[in-house]
Structure 1
Amino acid sequence: LSPPTMTKISSVSLAVELATVPVSKEVLGITSDFFTALFYGDFMERNSGSYSIKEVDHQNFIWLVNSLTERKWKVTSVDQALYALFMSDRFCMKYVKERIVPYLNSAKFDPTVETLKRYIAIVVRCSGIGEVV
């Protein structure tokens, strides 16, 4: 028996960059206030069934959706963790933040100045700043 994949449980597609990403609106809806409002709120997109997510990297978004769907968080780099933290803030996903912050707090890395700048910018944006620092 193989575990469900994104395409097996998808109920809607999102346009991300130039590609279409099949997602489960139920999975995204229960983990994100943003997606709950998008899929179940009284918005034009709900009636048309056409959803577009702007200013998000396609590959990182697919990783996020797969991680939520499979409940496996395979963080492979600090940059990936920082981008996940950014998406958790952008899409109001406390669950994602709870999975990523421990990785960032325990990561043994020698950050570049650019990585530190991105990290600080994300920390400043995110609510619960004390949890990340």
Structure 2
Amino acid sequence: MRNGFSFRMHKLALRVTQQVDFTDPDEPCHDVALIIEGEKIYASKQILGSYSTVFKAMFYGDFAEKNKNEIELKDVKKEEFVDLLRVISPSSRRIAFPLISPLLILGDRFDIKYVMDRAESCLITSNRLSDITKLAFSDRYKLSSVKEHCFSKLQTVGDVKSIEESPYFGQLSDEMKAAIREHKARIEG
């Protein structure tokens, strides 16, 4: 004991996972080069195909890409795609707030349910996004759990009015607007 404080030392074991280098063609599991924004990103057909029905069809179906070792992906940002690869790679990356939108776009485009599920979970637990933003993501990507979560938080007519008065309310689909109005009617009794 020193100066009225006692200290106890504990050993802390940390498991360190090594990040995959998607720029290294010599990584053992890399068997395809994806050309994005003119640069090569190396990945595993097996991993991509196991998470994405789009890549599964591309690599293992009757498509020209099946026998190619280099495939160009258009209308994709390199850094966002690398983030996607990090999320589905065995050394899995945690989804951080700024990654939600690009990962939802790519997860939806390439039909990667795992990424959509993880992003949905992140939206539900995030305190950094407003309910109207979460409802917009729910609406666009059909994330029913996010919608249910947001509706459970809308407990008064005032809560619902704040959503309806948001400048983003007009961007929601007619179906989502109707669901919000029905929820409001249930609250009003």
Aligned to 2:138: 123
Aligned to 1:35: 55
Q: 1:84 aligns with which of 103, 106, 126?
A: 103
- 1:76-119, Cα deviation, whole Å (9 max, x unpaired): 32x311211111111111111111111111111155x9xx3x97
Select the structure with the greater relative contact order (CA < 8 A; seq sep ≥ 6).
1
For structure 2, the residue ranges without an aligned partner over 5 or more in a row are 1-15, 148-189
Give the Cα separation in 2 of the matches to 1:126 and 1:90. 10
Aligned to 2:113: 94
For structure 1, the residue ranges without an aligned partner over 5 or more in a row are none
Larger Rg: 2
Give the Cα separation in 2 of the matches to 1:47 and 1:22. 16
Aligned to 1:108: 127
Normalised TM-score (structure 1): 0.79
The 5 A counterparts of 1:3-82 are: 3=18, 5=20, 6=22, 7=24, 8=27, 9-77=29-97, 79-82=98-101
Letter in 2 for 1:39: F
Q: Secondary structure at the residue paired with 1:21?
A: strand
Give the length in aligned residue pairs.
126
State the percentage of identical aligned residues: 25
Letter in 2 for 1:124: D
Q: Secondary structure at the residue paired with 1:66?
A: helix
Normalised TM-score (structure 2): 0.58
Letter in 2 for 1:45: E
Shift of 1:23: 0.3
Q: Name the Cα RMSD after superposition.
A: 2.5
Give the Cα separation in 2 of the matches to 1:45 and 1:93. 19
